[in-house]
């Protein structure tokens, strides 16, 4: 019989009617890297990563993003190079966001529905070149909207049902041009079901949906909005994105997205929302993804650049924490960096 609480250094056990004092030695199982390998519980594999990139219209363009160190707005030719680099390291899934020139942005975001728009041209080319690679789209109006909101705006209000019509049209165009998984990042109510129905009706029953399910109104999206120059012109996104003060409410989003037909559910951001990721893991029959967003990535880079810690140590610790909390899939700007670390530390025999 053990008569001490778990975690105590000394326990008294009763054996053959005698009390024996035992010193718990958890360090025994950490004595060398082979033993540590035996007891390892979690290790994020590069196949589980998604690498988000910003696509420009000009095929040869490459522009630095000031607030997102080491990430660029890229034309198609550079995107191809990145995909070749990443797939050699086991990263096989990419998320593409369109960088739309200001002159094409309007309050009704009709550029999103222009059939020969560069985003659609690019995915067609990429899918032909890389049939085995998985591409995830973005569905929301903000890259195309002169208001910088994810939905249509009328008198300062973000319209829900009117927006759904446009989102579903985008979904069909994206599916038609070859995206494997659609990524609605807009947080309008009912969008998953609305899109699923439109996709099925148009013959795209095989196109998946990764719902930005619990997406919080976060300060961490700053560098992303710089990358797309998509910050809201007025107001904030609190009438559609979730309040960071809430936890249980995320389960309502989860329930509705499961019922509406999502194939994956996402928590966003990641690191400040490990409790939500853990809740999703326990409650979701669908694979769970977490988006380690631009501000989270930039903090790591800038912290390392200022000597606070080593990037190649803090970055894998961060991404594995997100995975350990319950995220099957991790979307991160550090995908290639992580895959290099994984190769050097876990694939090379040592
Ligand atoms: C908007 C969208 C955002 C991100 C992805 N899609 C920002 C926002 O909601 O304002 C953020 C991603 C990141 O910060 O890396 N539809």
List, for residues 267-321, the tens digit of each pLDDT value: 999 999 999 999 999 999 999 999 999 999 999 999 999 999 999 999 999 999 9
Distance 20 CA to ligand 1 centre (A): 59
* Residue 1 pLDDT > 60: no
Q: Is residue 268 flagged as an active site residue?
A: yes
- 19 CB contacts (<8 Å, ≥6 apart)? 12, 13
Q: Binning pLDDT at 50, 70 and 90, where does residue 348 land?
A: low
Task: Kindly name the residue from 48, 105, 237, 268 that is annotated as catalytic.
Answer: 268
Distance 224 CA to ligand 1 centre (A): 6
Q: Which of 139, 145, 225 gets mutated to test ligand 1 (max ligand atoms within 8 A of its CB)?
A: 225
> How many Cα atoms within 13 Å fall on the side-chain side of residue 336?
14
Distance 225 CA to ligand 1 centre (A): 7
Distance 221 CA to ligand 1 centre (A): 6
Distance 108 CA to ligand 1 centre (A): 19
Q: Which of 55, 293, 331, 334 gets mutated to test ligand 1 (max ligand atoms within 8 A of its CB)?
A: 293
Model pLDDT, residue 9: 64
User: Quick one: residue 229, left, alpha or beta (phi over 0 = left, psi -120 to 50 = alpha)?
Assistant: left
- Helix (H) or strand (E) holding 137, with range, is none
Q: What is the mean pLDDT of residues 201-219?
A: 98
72-74 and 329-332 beta bridge pairing:
unpaired
> What does pLDDT average to over the chain?
95
In percent, the amount of the chain with pLDDT more than 90 equals 91
Q: Binning pLDDT at 50, 70 and 90, where does residue 6 land?
A: low
Q: What is the mean pLDDT of residues 163-180?
A: 98
Q: Name all residues whose Cβ lies below 6 A of ligand 1.
A: 138, 140, 142, 150, 185-186, 221, 224-225, 237, 293-294
* CB-CB contact of 209 with 192 (8 Å): yes
Tell me which residue has its CA closest to atom 6 in ligand 1: 185
ω into 17 cis (within 30 of 0): no
Q: Which of 51, 68, 105, 140 gets mutated to test ligand 1 (max ligand atoms within 8 A of its CB)?
A: 140
Radius of gyration for the chain, computed over Cα atoms and rounded to the nearest angstrom = 23
Q: Which residue has the tokens 């975690």?
A: 7
SS3 readout for 23-58: ECCHHHHHCCHHHHHHHCCCCCCHHHEEEEEEECCC
**Nearest Cα to Cα of residue 233 among 155, 161, 145:** 145
3-state SS assignment for residue 177: helix
Task: Kindly name the residue from 88, 215, 233, 313 that is annotated as catalytic.
Answer: 215
Q: Is residue 313 flagged as an active site residue?
A: no
């Amino acid at each position: 019989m053990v008569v001490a609480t778990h975690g105590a250094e000394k326990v008294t056990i009763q054996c053959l009617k005698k009390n024996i004092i035992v010193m718990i030695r958890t360090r025994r199982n950490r004595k060398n890297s082979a033993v540590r390998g035996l007891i390892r519980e979690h290790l994020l594999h590069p196949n589980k990563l998604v690498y988000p990139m910003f696509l420009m219209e000009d095929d040869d363009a490459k522009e630095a993003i000031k607030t997102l160190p080491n990430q660029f707005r890229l034309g198609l030719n550079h995107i191809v190079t990145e995909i070749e680099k990443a797939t050699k390291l086991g990263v096989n899934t990419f998320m593409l966001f369109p960088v739309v020139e200001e002159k094409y942005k309007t309050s009704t975001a009709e550029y999103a529905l222009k059939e020969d728009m560069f985003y659609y041209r690019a995915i067609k080319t990429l899918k032909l070149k890389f049939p085995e690679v998985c591409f995830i789209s973005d569905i929301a109006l903000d890259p195309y909207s002169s208001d910088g909101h994810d939905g249509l705006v009328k008198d300062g209000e973000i319209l829900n049902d009117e927006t759904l019509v446009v989102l579903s049209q985008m979904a069909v165009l994206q599916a038609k041009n070859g995206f494997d998984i659609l990524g609605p990042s807009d947080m309008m109510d009912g969008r998953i079901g609305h899109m699923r129905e439109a996709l099925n009706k148009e013959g795209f029953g095989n196109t998946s949906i990764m719902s930005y399910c619990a997406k919080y109104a976060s300060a961490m999206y700053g560098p992303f909005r710089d990358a797309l120059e998509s910050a809201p012109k007025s107001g904030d996104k609190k009438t559609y994105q979730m309040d960071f003060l809430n936890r249980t409410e995320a389960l309502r989003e989860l329930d509705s997205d499961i019922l509406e037909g999502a194939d994956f559910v996402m928590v966003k951001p990641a690191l400040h929302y490990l409790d939500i990721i853990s809740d999703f893991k326990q409650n979701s029959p669908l694979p769970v993804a977490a988006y380690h967003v631009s501000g989270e990535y930039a903090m790591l880079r800038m912290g390392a650049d200022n000597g606070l810690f080593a990037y190649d140590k803090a970055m894998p610790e961060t991404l594995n924490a997100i995975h350990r909390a319950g995220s099957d899939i991790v979307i991160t700007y550090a995908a290639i960096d992580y895959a290099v670390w994984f190769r050097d530390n876990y694939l090379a025999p040592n």
